[in-house]
């Protein structure tokens, strides 16, 4: 009996040695945490998530299979991750090559270099019009032989409805560039294309006690600057406050700026975006020596008017770069209205959002789970589950326009603003370069990040992280980066 036991022990030992490599492999897998365990640990240990709601959805980019789900079907406020939906639907409905047009028309006739009648500037939603574009249009009018307009200069913004702000926009956002008025006729200060706004730049004065120098782009008298600033010594406090009076274009600047310090820049939304664009056009006409005898007005262009000139915007594929990289709210809301106009004949939020809901079903989105209030995500009443965002990101990979969509996303750690966008200062480790392409999102108490990550093992994962009820959105971004870095290291 004793010999038999010894024989059994010897046999077990021999088998253990024979299968040791396999057993070591099993134990190694048990000891090494999966990304599920790692993500669960992050959620449990992060003190800044205490009291918050966390929606996370991770999918395989190849199969669409959900690999990790934490409250993925719970409706949460997506902030600017909603722009992923808006961009995808705009590409699907309007197409990569879609361009906005701006027209110049007249209801009169030209006699001996004088236009006897009104000149109409008809906007059709172009958010990229710069002062330079108005100058080009004015030059074309001059080339046509017109030196004098014996009539009124009229801006036509009736391509869209007259509702200038989305339903839930906070009153305090009215003066901001991200809360600027949405009009079919508008203008932008720079090639960031923050339509409906001006850029205010403040530089320290020449000496202590001097007012700071203020410059406005574009150079226009449409806004009035009241300068209460003071230049202080180099070790003085840098504190500048810029406010625009409600329903006016009076911008008041207060505060101090140390001598030799860097300039401060702020983009301010104007009141009456239509007249803002029209005033730039009138200025451009004057610069070309074209006199306008009548008044500056807004009205609808008569149907029988004669087209004198048509200006086209950059294509949608190019507009997506500042729209998505810089998270431009104005572009999102303009696209919603444009889709409403093109598909349903009405440029309104109501009709545009109807188009979005219909189109989203084509990507496998269950629209009954959504609450869409705008196209930008600025509303606190927008609600989208993380699983629906990841589903969209999976479905669009099969579209012909997907390269334009993917290229529009911010690339983590890329310092160039038009490549890295809102992720240019995040996840900057060289090993992560080019691995993460995702859309950021931030509103009060909300932070979100959704997109694509290439892992060390060569997989592409789709992720959507939506954090709600945060006390500090910046800390939410740190957690998002931690989660995505964990995925990238798989």
Q: Find the helix or strand (DSSP H, E) in which 114 lies.
A: strand 114-116
Neighbours of 75 (CB within 10 A): 19
Phi then psi for 59, rounded to 5 degrees?
A: -125, 155
CA separation for the pair 129, 340 (Å, rounded): 21
CA separation for the pair 333, 307 (Å, rounded): 28
Q: Are 422 and 412 in contact, with CB atoms under 8 Å apart?
A: no
Residues involved in catalysis? 80, 83, 327
CA separation for the pair 103, 307 (Å, rounded): 7
Sign of the CA dihedral running 288, 294, 299, 302: negative
249-280: string of b/e by CB count within 10 Å (b at 16+)?
bebebebbbbbebeebebbbbbbbbbbbbbbb
- Look up residue 405 and give its two tokens: 């969509």
CA separation for the pair 351, 343 (Å, rounded): 9
Beginning with the edge strand found earlier in the chain, give each strand of the sheet holding 119-123 in spatial order. Answer: 296-298, 153-156, 119-123, 101-106, 306-312
Q: At what angle do helices 349-360 and 82-93 cross, to 10 degrees?
A: 90
| Coil, helix or strand at residue 9 | helix
Q: Are 365 and 143 in contact, with CB atoms under 8 Å apart?
A: no
Before 218, cis peptide (omega within 30)? yes
| Coil, helix or strand at residue 54 | strand
- The closest alpha carbon to 140, from 262, 252, 281, belongs to 281
């Amino acid at each position: 009996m004793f010999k038999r036991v010894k024989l059994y022990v010897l046999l077990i030992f021999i088998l253990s040695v024979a299968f040791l490599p396999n057993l070591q492999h099993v134990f190694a897998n048990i000891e090494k945490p999966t990304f599920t365990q790692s993500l669960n640990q992050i959620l449990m240990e992060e003190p800044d998530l205490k009291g918050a709601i966390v929606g996370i959805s991770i999918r395989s980019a190849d199969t669409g299979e959900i690999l990790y789900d934490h409250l993925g079907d719970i409706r949460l406020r997506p902030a600017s991750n909603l722009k992923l939906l808006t961009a995808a639907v705009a590409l699907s409905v309007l197409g990569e090559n879609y361009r906005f047009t701006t027209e110049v028309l007249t209801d009169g006739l030209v006699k001996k270099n004088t236009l006897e009648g009104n000149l109409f500037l008809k906007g059709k939603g172009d958010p990229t019009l710069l002062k330079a574009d108005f100058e080009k249009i004015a030059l074309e009018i001059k080339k046509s032989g017109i030196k004098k307009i014996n009539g009124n200069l009229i801006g036509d913004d009736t391509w869209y409805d007259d509702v200038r702000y989305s339903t839930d926009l906070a009153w305090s956002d009215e003066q901001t560039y991200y809360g600027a008025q949405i009009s079919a006729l508008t203008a932008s200060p720079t090639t960031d294309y923050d339509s409906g706004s001006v850029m205010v730049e403040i530089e320290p004065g020449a000496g202590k006690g001097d007012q700071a120098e203020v410059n406005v782009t574009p150079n226009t008298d449409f806004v009035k600057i009241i300068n209460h600033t003071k230049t202080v010594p180099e070790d003085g406090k840098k504190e500048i406050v810029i406010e625009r009076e409600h329903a006016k274009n009076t911008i008041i600047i207060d505060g101090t700026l140390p001598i030799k310090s860097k300039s401060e820049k702020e983009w301010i939304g104007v009141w009456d975006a239509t007249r803002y664009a029209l005033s730039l056009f009138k200025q451009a006409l004057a610069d070309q020596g074209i006199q306008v005898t009548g008044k500056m007005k807004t009205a609808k262009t008569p149907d029988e008017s004669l087209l004198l000139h048509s200006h086209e915007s950059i294509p949608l594929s190019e507009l997506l770069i500042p729209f998505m990289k810089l998270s431009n709210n104005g572009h999102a809301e303009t696209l919603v209205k444009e889709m409403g106009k093109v598909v349903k004949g009405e440029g309104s939020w109501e009709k545009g959002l109807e188009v979005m809901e219909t189109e989203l079903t084509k990507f496998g989105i269950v629209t009954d789970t959504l609450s869409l209030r705008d196209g930008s995500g600025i509303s606190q009443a927008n609600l989208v589950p993380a699983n629906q965002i990841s589903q969209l990101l999976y479905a669009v990979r099969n579209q012909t326009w997907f390269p334009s969509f993917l290229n529009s996303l911010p690339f983590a750690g890329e310092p160039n603003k038009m490549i890295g966008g809102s992720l240019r200062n995040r996840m900057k480790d060289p090993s992560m370069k080019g691995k993460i392409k995702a859309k950021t999102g931030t509103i009060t108490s909300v932070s979100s990040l959704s997109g694509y990550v290439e892992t060390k093992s060569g997989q592409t994962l789709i992720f959507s992280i939506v954090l709600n009820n945060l006390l500090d959105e910046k800390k939410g971004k740190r957690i998002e980066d931690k989660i995505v870095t964990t995925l990238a290291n798989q």
